[in-house]
């Protein structure tokens, strides 16, 4: 049963690392811009949108163009946050190996 104890310790360590990672991701801010800087989005590494800023001159443009540019910026920000999260999860889970599971 020594293997079970080791497995439990690994699981506890992984849980602590995941909690630390979540805190770290919450603190990281990613800046994404679209439309040559006309739309700026701030998102945390955990995927929480923090701010959206539009250039006042750009806001006067065709509504469809403004909407598409905002959507592109939001999608890019979400993708970058997910990539950061996935990379951190991969880093943590790589150290956690269960014999016979992988």
* 65 CA to centre of own chain: 26
- The answer to the question of residue 4 being in a domain is no
How large is the average pLDDT for residues 46-54? 96
Question: Looking at the predicted structure, is the pLDDT value of residue 54 above 60?
Answer: yes
- The answer to the question of residue 52 being in a domain is yes
How large is the average pLDDT for residues 2-15? 79
- The answer to the question of residue 84 being in a domain is yes
Question: Looking at the predicted structure, is the pLDDT value of residue 98 above 60?
Answer: no
How large is the average pLDDT for residues 60-81? 96
Q: How many structural domains is the chain composed of?
A: 1
Please name the residues in contact with 72: beta carbons below 8 A apart, sequence gap of 6 or more.
Answer: 34, 35, 39
Instruction: Name which of 94, 39, 96 is nearest 69 in CA terms.
Output: 39
* 66 confidence band (pLDDT: 50, 70, 90): very high
Give the structural domain span for 31.
13-88
Residues in the chain: 102
- The answer to the question of residue 32 being in a domain is yes
Give SS3 for 76: helix
Mean pLDDT is lowest, of 10-14, 26-30, 83-87, for 10-14
């Amino acid at each position: 049963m020594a293997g079970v104890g080791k497995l439990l310790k690994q699981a506890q360590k992984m849980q602590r690392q995941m909690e630390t990672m979540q805190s770290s991701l919450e603190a990281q801010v990613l800046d994404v811009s679209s439309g040559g800087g006309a739309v700026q989005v701030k998102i945390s590494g955990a995927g929480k949108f923090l701010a959206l800023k539009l250039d006042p001159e750009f806001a006067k443009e065709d509504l469809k163009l403004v909407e598409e540019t905002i959507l592109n910026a939001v999608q890019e920000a979400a993708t970058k946050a997910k990539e950061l999260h996935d990379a951190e999860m991969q880093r943590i889970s790589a150290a956690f190996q269960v014999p016979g599971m992988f």
